Every structure is written in C-alpha cells, then in structure tokens.
Amino acid sequence: MDGDIGALLGGADRPHLSARRPTREFFERGGRAGETGRTFPLADVRLRAPIVPKKFFHTAGNFREHHEDLVRVDWSHPVNKGIVFFQNVDAIIGPEDAIVYPENLTRELDYELELAVIIGKPGKFFSAEQAAEHICGYLVFNDITARDIQRKEMESGVFSFSKAIDTFCPIGPYIVTADEIDDPHDLDMELRVNGDVRQKSSTSRLSVSIPQLVAYHSPQIYSAGDIITTGTIAGVAASTEDPFANYLKPGDVVEAEIESLGVLRNHVVSWQDAYGTPAPPAEQWV
C-alpha cells in the first residue's frame, strides 16, 4: 500500500483493507478523505505505525497504582499525576517493528503499556464536557523508557530524553475509532514479555478521566491527528524485586494489548543486528 492508510473491512474470516489517503489528512478533512479504490487481503499487507501526529502529548501518573508500585521499591522519584511533556514523533515505530537497544546509552530498558487517544477535531481551551467531540479514536502505546537516564533527568523534575530515543515509541496496531468503543474507561490492559505477563490492569483504574486529560491539554492547541497518552499501569520492570532480571534485552518479544484495540507486538534487537555495526559510543555531558 506504500504508506496509505487502510480501513479494515469484512468479517474475521475474510478481513481486507480498503486503501485511503494518509491518516492525518483523513482526520484533517473530518473523515472525508476519499478512498483510492484499492483493496488488499489483510494477510498480504504489512501494518505500519497507523499515524505520525503533528504533536504527541505525554501524561504520567494518571494510574495511582504505578506511583504506588514504584514507592514500594523506593524508586528515586514519585510519579504523581500532572506530569506532562512531548514525545519525539521521529521515534515512532509500528507493529512488528524492532526496538533497537542502544547498549552504550542505557542498561535499563523498560516497558510501559498505555492507552493513547487520537484527536480528530482541532481545538483549544475547551472543557471536559466538550472533550468528546474532539476524540476520534484510540490505539495501544508502549512507552519504552531508559530508566537509568530517566533517574538522572528526574533530578531536575523533567524527563523526556529517556523516552524519546530512536525506536522507543511503538504505537498501533491500528486506530480504533471512538464509535467502536462503548466505554474507554472499562478496557482490560495486559503487557507480556516472551509470553510472561508483566502488567495487567484496566482503564477503569484511571485516576483522571480521558475527557479531563484531553481538556487539560487543550490550551496547548490540538491539531487533527494529535495523540495524547494516559499513563501506564503497575508492573513495569523498574518496580520488580529484581529489575535487571526483567528489563528488556535483545531477543525479547513484547506484546502490549488493550481490550478491543488489538495487540501491539515488537521485538528487541541489538544495535549490531539492526545496523550491522557495533553500537556507537554515547556522548556524556551530565
């Protein structure tokens, strides 16, 4: 399909994609971007990241259980609600893409399963009651994080480098439109590494509702196709009794799943396997 988006059509026995124009254009036109007239059996296409937004809003601490989990193991800093920052959209990868382990940069590669919200209608300075008209869909996000870098960043109270490294932003496997989800606050969430369940919870445990989150960010001005995340649940590797036994390493397969939104599957590879050369040195100045 050469980068076009596709609408999944047909039943489970004969799924196929109907090709359409690029995703952001589709939302910018209020869902009216025309179809190309081409269809493909789902088995014959490779799904890529379903969208590259203009802006990618991070929120953290919206699941109280994540904060409590880290407090239990004496993590270096609290993760309370209200942490906000931007993600690097060039770090986005899609389903089945490789997460490249930059071994000279980090030794503590972690996972964070999150629900992501897609903004369909531009806007700014609106209320939680008005937020629904700006939400057009949802997808799965795995917030890959270099914990050793993050701890250093959090000494200043702000972090983003640790989450914005190349390939650290898997999203997908597709966008499910809002009309297909009865209640986004009642979806089971589960992340597995090599089949082992690491994170398991539900969006029902969000401390801050999705309309509140979307409205809170609105003074920063939404464009059609922007993404906002809702924070992760308990069970990240950093919160386990032996984090180094659970941090991601080359060869691992990570499956991030949210009920009704599908499974986002990615594998971790070494720099050598990804690029055919040894990992470059990491410049340090802090």
Tens digit of each residue's pLDDT (9 = 90 or more) over 264-279: 999 999 999 999 999 9
Picking from 18, 68, 41, 53, the residue whose alpha carbon sits closest to that of residue 229 is: 53
- Are the CB atoms for 53 and 141 separated by under 8 Å? no
Q: Token pair 């999150």 is at which residue?
A: 114
At 35-57, the pLDDT tens digits run 666 777 777 778 889 999 999 99
Q: Give the residue-averaged pLDDT of 56-64.
A: 83
Give the residue among 164, 160, 141 at the shortest CA–CA distance from 152: 160
Q: How far apart are CA 71 and CA 24, in angstroms?
A: 39
How far apart are alpha carbons 64 and 241 in whole angstroms? 19
Banded pLDDT at 2 (limits 50, 70, 90)? very low
Residues paired with 59 in a beta bridge: 84
pLDDT in the model for residue 248: 98
